[in-house]
Amino acid sequence: MQQEFQHIVKFIRELYKQTEGFIPLHAPVFNGNEKKYLNDCIDSTFVSSVGKYVDLFEERMAEYTGAKKTIACVNGTNALHIALKLVGVEPKTEVITQALTFIATVNAIKYCDADPVFIDVDKDTLGLSPESLKNWLAENVDVTKSQPQLQPQSQPQSQSQPQSQPHNKKTGRRISACVPMHTFGHPCRIDEIMEICNQYHIPVIEDAAESLGSFYKNQHTGTFGEIGVLSFNGNKILTTGGGGMLLFKDEKLAQKAKHLTTQAKVPHLWKFVHDEIGYNYRMPNINAALGLAQLEQLPQFLESKRNIAKKYDDFFSSSALASTLSLIFITEPNNAKSNYWLNTVILKDKTERDAFLKYTNEQGVMTRPAWTLINKLEMFKSCQCENLSNSEWLEERIVNLPSSVRI
């Protein structure tokens, strides 16, 4: 085994042209107009929550993703929080999501005092499984229609529509949203998930924090659901230092998001009036300046990342070591174009995975396992779960490999 691991480390060192020293998992690259825009931003004195870079960054991101409207936030976690609030996630409701995800997805649900329900992922996409979703819903959820009022004349037409509300038959609680996540940048089966959720009248919030630049059937991830969420944390494909963005297809909802993220202040020349509990979640101009410069380089970043993924894929499929190790390199799923944010291999079992993690990290080549499944964490141990066999299988075997953009 040691010999095979050695071979892999050698390959990664050659890939990053670094014969010694530490190779990180994902380092940002600042190779464009970053310093220029940052200087300009500082010179303008508009470094905070108002300024042209925020508007420009939002506009360019809307153009790139095809979202009707975008709202920049301080980070991806609070963008998720706002998205959930906007589709009506309230206390004592339930939100369906995957157990194999980063903690932020689930923390955001708890910020709304709602409870997560964990369902399984697919082995090929690593994202929320439409099958698992369908099974859980069929077994647990009823859609009740509240009848229209009996005085149609006194009611405006639009309000006499029956309202369809999905309820958990066991807990009696409303299902207020579903949050699929595009794991490591690989798109999940989002069209099937949308179809199922539409049948049950469940709004979808796409956690696309890791999948900027990833497309499913030629449509950008994060633009299928009611709202999509991106992250620009330092380790993501593009960074603003810290930052996130909401992607909307509904302009009215975007307006509400802007209001909520700016302390719910009623616009006025000099008065300070706030009409609800708002948040200070708006992205500062200085972060947007960095983001705009990064976004200009996104096509090059994506090209570099596809090139790295291809090199990994070729290496693992040509060398005998992959079969010796029975190792699988994850490639983009069917119908999808992936950003290959973090390259991923599946090792034979937990023992081999741990040996690989130990060896590579001791050699200064950073690798890391998947997140501990969220339902195993102390705070979420009592949450409802569907069968999580794929998630458990993957949790024990996944390893992320160095994936930084090469200049």
Alpha helical stretches, state H, 280-328? 285-296, 298-318, 321-325
Q: How many residues make up the chain in this entry?
A: 407
What is the x/- site pattern for ligand PLP, positions 241-280, by CB under 6 A? ---x------------------------------------
The distance in angstroms from the start CA to the end CA of the chain is 32
Closest contact distance (angstroms) between CB of 139 and ligand PLP is 27
Asked if 302 is part of the footprint of ligand PLP (rule: CB under 6 A), the reply reads no
The one segment of 206-214, 281-289, 321-329, 399-407 that binds ligand PLP by CB under 6 A: 206-214
Name the residue among 61, 101, 69, 103 with its Cα closest to residue 86: 69
Closest contact distance (angstroms) between CB of 74 and ligand PLP is 8
Contacts of 33 (CB under 8 A, 6+ apart): 292, 293, 296
The one segment of 47-55, 203-211, 249-257, 396-404 that binds ligand PLP by CB under 6 A: 203-211
Q: Which is nearer to ligand PLP, 176 or 221 (CB)?
A: 221
Work out which of 93, 129, 140, 231 binds ligand PLP, going by CB under 6 A.
231
Measured distance CA(229)–CA(265) in Å, rounded: 23
Name the residue among 289, 280, 246 with its Cα closest to residue 69: 246
Closest contact distance (angstroms) between CB of 104 and ligand PLP is 4
Asked if 395 is part of the footprint of ligand PLP (rule: CB under 6 A), the reply reads no
The one segment of 43-51, 74-82, 162-170, 263-271 that binds ligand PLP by CB under 6 A: 74-82
Q: Which is nearer to ligand PLP, 114 or 327 (CB)?
A: 114
Asked if 207 is part of the footprint of ligand PLP (rule: CB under 6 A), the reply reads yes
Asked if 75 is part of the footprint of ligand PLP (rule: CB under 6 A), the reply reads yes
Q: In what order do the strands lie in the sheet with 94-98?
A: 175-179, 94-98, 115-119, 384-385
For residue 149, what are the CA distances in angstroms to 157, 163, 164, 166? Answer: 11, 11, 14, 20
Closest contact distance (angstroms) between CB of 360 and ligand PLP is 22
The one segment of 58-66, 71-79, 119-127, 398-406 that binds ligand PLP by CB under 6 A: 71-79
Asked if 225 is part of the footprint of ligand PLP (rule: CB under 6 A), the reply reads no
What is the x/- site pattern for ligand PLP, positions 83-112, by CB under 6 A? ------------------xx-xx-------
Name the residue among 147, 252, 133, 249 with its Cα closest to residue 199: 133
Nearest-CB residue for ligand PLP:
76
Contacts of 359 (CB under 8 A, 6+ apart): 2, 5, 6, 9
Asked if 233 is part of the footprint of ligand PLP (rule: CB under 6 A), the reply reads yes
Which residues ranging from 149 to 188 are in contact with ligand PLP (CB under 6 A)? 181
Closest contact distance (angstroms) between CB of 390 and ligand PLP is 17
Could you tell me whether strands 94-98 and 115-119 are parallel, antiparallel, or unpaired per DSSP bridges?
A: parallel
Whether the CA torsion 111, 112, 118, 122 is positive or negative: it is negative
**Burial state string for 368-402 with b = 16 or more CB within 10 A and e = fewer than 16:** ebbbebbbeeeebeebbbbebebbbebbbbbbbbb
Could you tell me whether strands 175-179 and 94-98 are parallel, antiparallel, or unpaired per DSSP bridges?
A: parallel
Number of residues that bind ligand PLP (CB under 6 A): 14
* Residue 178 bridge partners (DSSP): 96, 204
Site residues, ligand PLP (CB under 6 A): 75-77, 101-102, 104-105, 181, 207, 209-210, 231, 233, 244
